[in-house]
Structure 1
Amino acid sequence: MPHESTRLSARDWARAALTAIADGGLAAVAVEPLARTLGVTKGSFYAHYRNRDELIAAALAEWRTHCEDGLADFAAITDPARRLRELLTTVVRSVRPLVPSVHLSLLGDRNDPRVAEAVGHVDQARLDLLATTYRELGLPSARAAARARVAYAAILGLSHLAQTDPDAPRSTVLANEAATVFLPPVRASRHASVPKE
């Protein structure tokens, strides 16, 4: 028997839509299948959203908020070397073989303006945190920005490979390797002067 529609919030629907996006992109967001998955009738959906477009907008906003909250936790770590190590190891350990990714699935819909804006925002926020961290570790601004891009590209690449490789190396091994490769061999100090370019 379906649950009462009032037991589900708009956020529950947005999160269910995100799960569908991870599995099949925007095309997978459909009211009736989501209602079946959630164990409710379509009436629950219409109690919160007027149409599918509103649900997609809410799902993308939920994804952005989730990503921003995660970044804020790392940004609060004052030691940049520890911040970078924890960021890299946490992200790499979260990559699991054959587990769908919202980010990677959204790339298939990158021509949709809503998706382009959301992915661009998340990418830039992640790159900004990485670049800031590398600057705090003593790299000049241009090198810090370049290193941030390479590190982020590696993270996305690992996520991509994990989508098709059930025999991917254990996440602990990858996390340690990522930290070794992307932590610069400099002594970190928040108050150290940053070399000029």
Structure 2
Amino acid sequence: MNESTRLSAQDWARAALKAIANGGLAAVAVEPLARTLGVTKGSFYAHYRNRDELIAAALAEWVQSHGDEGLAELAAVPDPARRLRDLISTVVHAVQPLAPSVHLSLLGDRNDPRVRDAVSQVNQARLDLLTRTYSELGLPPERAASRARVAYAAILGLLHLAQTDPDAPNADVLTAEATAIFVPS
């Protein structure tokens, strides 16, 4: 591999996230990742001292892409009803039948403090956005928070079903049904 095609630390972190999605933290191993990326272990050690640093970087990448920063574009949609429809559509269209999920795979490692922290940050960012959106739609604070939790639980349920049900309805049907349930008319 020449200098212009050398992998970055972020390339390694993203590869580790794919491994996590497929098998949790236990799936993050330097040699198999190097083979998958088509490089030697030396490439890994140019960026990280050890596997724990890679796991920390992968979790930070996931928090960044799925937490507040990852939600920034949706959060900026001024119309709360449109924001909620866009959020539902984005989630449903991202869910692929039998596709692995970093979020759901991390739940198997929830006793690891690094995982607990990352999942907590992502959950909180998503719940905050949903709560704010329901508040802007006119729900009182407690009801907005409650509705946000139910909507978020449904989102996580869709991820779970996508991992286990090859016959799940297509994205357009799921988007229409979820919108009918969670977007006030």
**Cα separation, 2, equivalents of 1:26 and 1:4:** 30
Secondary structure in 2 aligned to 1:104? helix
**Residue 17 of structure 1: how far off its partner (Å):** 0.2
Provide the identity percentage.
Answer: 75
Counterpart Cα distance in 2 of 1:53 and 1:4: 27
Deviation string, structure 1 residues 138-185 (Cα, Å, up to 9, x no partner): 000000000000000001001101111111100110011111100123
Larger Rg: 1
Residue type of the partner of 1:132? R
Relative to its length, the structure with more helix (as a share) is: 2
- The Cα of 1:69 is off from its aligned counterpart by 2.9
Query: What is residue 189 of structure 1 aligned with on the other side?
Result: none
Matched, 1:169 2:169: yes
What secondary structure is seen at the aligned counterpart in 2 of 1:96?
coil
Give the TM-score, by structure 1 length.
0.91
Whether 1:144 and 2:174 are equivalent positions in the alignment is no
Question: How many residues are paired up?
Answer: 183
More displaced 10-residue stretch of structure 1: 122-131 or 91-100: 91-100
Report the Cα distance in structure 2 between the residues aligned to 1:148 and 1:95, rounded to whole angstroms. 19
Moved over 6 A (4+): none
- 8 Å CA contact 1:60–1:115 kept in 2: the answer is yes
Q: Equivalences for 1:1-197 in 2 at 5 Å?
A: 3-4=1-2, 7-67=6-66, 68-185=68-185
In 2: Cα distance, 1:33 partner to 1:81 partner: 45
Task: Specify the code of the residue in structure 1 equivalent to 2:130.
Answer: L
Deviations 1:77-120 (A, max 9, x none): 00101001101111111111100000000000000000000000
Q: CA RMSD in A?
A: 1.0
Q: Deviations over 1:40-79 (max 9, x none)?
A: 0000000000000000000000001111333101011001
Separation in 1 of the partners of 2:9 and 2:90? 29
Q: What secondary structure does 1:168 align onto?
A: coil
Amino acid at match of 1:42: K
TM normalised by structure 2 equals 0.97
Indicate the larger mover: 59-68 or 110-119. 59-68
Q: Give the conservation status (yes or no) of the 8 Å contact 1:4–1:40.
A: no
For 2:87 and 2:47, locate their aligned partners in 1 and report how far apart those are by CA, in whole Å: 35
